[in-house]
Amino acid sequence: MKQMRDVFAETGPLRARKWLVLSVASLGLGGAFAFLVGMARAPFAERLLPHDYFRHALVGHVNLAIVFWLLLSAVVLWAANFRGENPRAGFPLALLGTALVAFSALFGSGEAVLNNYVPVLVNPLFFAGLAVFFAGFSISSFGRVREAYDGLSSDDMVKNGLSTAVFVSAVLFAAVVVSSFFFAGKANGGEGKHYYEKLFWTPGHIQQFLNGSLLVAAWYTLARTPLKGGIRFWGFLKTANKSLIFSAALLLALLFFLDPADRRLKIGAEIIYGAGLGIPLFLHIANITRQTLRTRFDYKSPQEASLAFSMVIYLFGVFIAYAGFQNDTRVPAHYHGGVTALTLALMGCYHEMLKKGGREIRFERLARVQPYVYGTGMLLFIAGLFVSGLLGAPRKTPGVGFTENPVVLFSLGLMGVGTLLAVLGGAAFVLYAAATLVNGRRGE
């Protein structure tokens, strides 16, 4: 087994400041939309909101709090761990794209199409925002390729995971180009939602491998706190990371032979997910857990709390997937298990970056409580969706008029409580992170 070194001690995390600010802003805006979405599904509260706005708020939430936030966070982590500078053209494009998408969702511009992964508003402004944002992200990722190539053999598992993320991002870029080429011009062919489902199916699936590589980097970053930097890992875990790149490329290759609507492609994706994504992450969880269980848990540490909640939430989401589900609320329960596990881990990393960057954390007590509030909220949220889905609650449906089952109503109420806690936890993170960036004094 090989020992990692602490790259944060050798780099300047705050050189990623602009990207960090934008990522926090995107998460904050997405969280505001999430509150509206959750309340639109909760008993009684749903009567206070316009029925149709549920769909526009959901589009805004998914894009800003999931897609954009996670991609922006990848750039932040690259800047914090790699020695090279971010390409300058990337940030203004990402900023403009974020603003256009937020504006479109806020004012309910265009028809809301709730396809999977990247739901859309059929509006030129919204699509321009998506395109410009992704261009900015891609420029930033391509600027890291040379250093990432060396990082794939690094004994630093944080840098190794982030290098994996760079190459998965290249596969993601190829997937967007190929999908656009295959399905361009079909939006007006009467396919509607099915068109956007096909367009984003492969890129959306490949982004999960990007999320997986970011989880690896984030977990090892957080594990440095309880293990005092003395993290060890099995040598084959570097090969496991490379399998994420191979699996993402394999999934892209299938698109050349099978249509996204073809059940064979979906079965192939499930197999690739299970072997190429699930197994590597389980191995990393086992490696980190076997070491952290030997230490004393510091409940006051945002890093340790974020790590623990992140792994529990991730395993909950994976359990839902392996248990199987239909097209009901178990789908978002599983999906949120994956993305919010990464979100919580990233929140802990941001706290670490701000401290390593010489900043005095503002609202430090709030920062210590924040992982517990957000983590508990997401566990309740996922549990509520999971149980209601078991009893047939449909997904992407506002209100509770579809059922009188008291268990379903209780579960959705639990989901509503979880939503409120998660939004409060997300708001607490945005508050202390933004205050630290703006007013945090530099430490000694």
The separation between CA 265 and the C-alpha centre of its own chain, rounded to angstroms, equals 24
Identity at 101, one-letter amino acid code: V
257-290 burial, b at 16+ Cβ within 10 Å, e below that, comes to ebebeeeebeebbeebbeebbeebbebbbebbee
Q: Residue 238 in contact with residue 158, Cβ under 8 Å?
A: no
Q: What is the pLDDT of residue 187?
A: 56
Is the pLDDT higher at 143 or at 233?
Answer: 143
DSSP SS3 for 213: helix
* Structure token pair of residue 389: 């889905």
| Domain spans of the chain, in order of start | 297-444
Q: What is the pLDDT of residue 9?
A: 42
pLDDT tens-place string over residues 76-123: 999 988 988 788 899 999 999 999 999 999 887 788 998 888 999 999
pLDDT-derived band at 378, boundaries 50, 70, 90: very high
> Looking at the predicted structure, is the pLDDT value of residue 12 above 90?
no
- pTM for the model: 0.90
Query: 442: which DSSP letter?
Result: B
Average pLDDT for residues 54-58, to the nearest whole number?
87
Report the chain's terminal Cα–Cα distance, integer Å.
36
Q: What is the pLDDT of residue 10?
A: 42
3-state helix, strand, coil in the chain (%, to 5): 75, 5, 25
Dihedrals φ, ψ of 423, to 5°? -65, -40
Lowest mean pLDDT among 173-187, 260-274, 337-351: 173-187
- Mean pLDDT score of the chain, rounded to an integer? 88
**Overall size of the chain counted in residues:** 444
Q: Residue 69 in contact with residue 108, Cβ under 8 Å?
A: no
Dihedrals φ, ψ of 46, to 5°? -65, -20
pLDDT-derived band at 55, boundaries 50, 70, 90: confident
> Looking at the predicted structure, is the pLDDT value of residue 191 above 80?
no
pLDDT tens-place string over residues 206-219: 999 999 999 999 99
pLDDT tens-place string over residues 222-261: 999 888 877 888 889 999 999 999 999 999 999 999 999 8
Say if strands 111-113 and 120-122 run parallel, antiparallel, or are unpaired. antiparallel
